[in-house]
């Protein structure tokens, strides 16, 4: 039943899905990556409707990747590495300006990848913050160090407004539903190295293929 489902929802499980992303030979599995993102969006939605312009964009990108995972080319979309190789070999990516492939897997996943860096920076600030820490300040600092560089003024402004609506640290910890504050801090300490590793593997694949600036 949905109510019980809602209650069990914990950010711990979401962050755990990033654990399953990395295969033994350090391939990043797209299905697990997308599942992790779906959980994050669910968490974001539980924070309130001010964030819906953010979650809509993320949901749209998740959907694009999901469609590739269901398509006849799905074997090529099993990992980030195979996706990059397949799309580049078959010239399915707009490399310098937007054109025939505005929804390539490579450019779509890059947007989520950049947002994962924001998440890493934000959660690290949250983890090391004191009781009087301001989530909105942590959030905008993390944003300015990462995603903001890729967003036009209008998006940066809307994001800044949304950040002001973030609940305080105590409430934020409660919504995460991962136990008492010290348990949340411990959970973040476990999860962050995993997120950071997934981020780094994807970053290396994109850098190696010169894809970090895809339009
Ligand atoms: C907990 C507070 C949540 C703050 C989330 C911080 C990120 C702010 C991002 C605001 C931008 C959203 C509007 C959409 C922008 C899109 O233009 C860009 C570029 O895509 P393109 O236009 O090139 O197709 N989209 C993105 O950068 C992806 C943003 C995904 C953000 C997901 C946040 C998930 C938060 C999880 C919360 C734990």
Give me the number of domains the chain comprises.
1
CATH code, 43: 1.10.3520.10
Residue 65 predicted with pLDDT over 80:
yes
Ligand 1 neighbourhood includes 199 CB (under 6 angstroms): no
Asked if residue 10 is part of any domain, the answer here is yes
Ligand 1 neighbourhood includes 159 CB (under 6 angstroms): yes
Ligand 1 neighbourhood includes 84 CB (under 6 angstroms): no
Asked if residue 137 is part of any domain, the answer here is yes
Ligand 1 neighbourhood includes 213 CB (under 6 angstroms): no
Asked if residue 163 is part of any domain, the answer here is yes
Ligand 1 neighbourhood includes 121 CB (under 6 angstroms): no
* pLDDT for the residue 1: 46
Q: Could you tell me the distance, in angstroms and rounded to a whole number, from the CA of residue 144 to the centre of ligand 1?
A: 13
Q: Which of 34, 115, 134 to mutate to test the pocket of ligand 1 (most atoms within 8 A of CB)?
A: 115
ipTM (interface pTM): 0.97
Residue 6 predicted with pLDDT over 70:
no
Tell me the residue range of the domain where 30 lies.
2-97+106-208
140: number of Cβ within 10 Å: 20
Asked if residue 214 is part of any domain, the answer here is no
Q: How confident is the model at residue 106 (pLDDT cuts 50, 70, 90)?
A: very high
Q: Could you tell me the distance, in angstroms and rounded to a whole number, from the CA of residue 14 to the centre of ligand 1?
A: 18
Ligand 1 neighbourhood includes 175 CB (under 6 angstroms): no
- With CA atoms as reference, report the closest residue to 166 among 199, 141, 197, 193: 141
Ligand 1 neighbourhood includes 122 CB (under 6 angstroms): no
Residue-wise pLDDT for 75-101, tens only, equals 999 999 999 999 999 999 999 999 999
* pLDDT for the residue 7: 53
Q: Could you tell me the distance, in angstroms and rounded to a whole number, from the CA of residue 1 to the centre of ligand 1?
A: 31
Asked if residue 93 is part of any domain, the answer here is yes
Ligand 1 neighbourhood includes 44 CB (under 6 angstroms): yes
Average pLDDT in the 177-188 region? Answer: 95
Asked if residue 136 is part of any domain, the answer here is yes
């Amino acid at each position: 039943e949905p109510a019980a489902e809602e209650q069990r929802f914990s950010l711990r499980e979401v962050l755990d899905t990033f654990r399953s992303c990395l295969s033994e030979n350090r391939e990043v599995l797209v299905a697990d990556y997308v599942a992790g993102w779906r959980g994050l969006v669910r968490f974001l939605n539980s924070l309130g409707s001010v964030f819906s312009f953010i979650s809509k964009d993320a949901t749209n990108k998740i959907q694009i990747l999901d469609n590739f995972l269901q398509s006849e080319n799905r074997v090529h979309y099993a990992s980030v590495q195979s996706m990059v190789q397949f799309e580049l070999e078959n010239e399915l990516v707009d490399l310098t300006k937007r054109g025939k492939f505005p929804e390539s897997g490579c450019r779509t996943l890059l947007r989520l990848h950049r947002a994962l860096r924001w998440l890493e920076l934000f959660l690290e600030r949250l983890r090391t913050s004191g009781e009087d820490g301001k989530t909105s300040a942590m959030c905008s600092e993390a944003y300015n160090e990462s995603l903001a560089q890729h967003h036009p003024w209008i998006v940066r402004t809307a994001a800044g407004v949304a950040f002001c609506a973030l609940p305080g640290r105590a409430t934020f910890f409660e919504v995460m539903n991962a136990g008492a504050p010290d348990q949340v801090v411990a959970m973040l300490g476990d999860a962050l190295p995993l997120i950071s590793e997934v981020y780094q593997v994807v970053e290396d694949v994109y850098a190696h293929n010169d894809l970090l600036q895809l339009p």
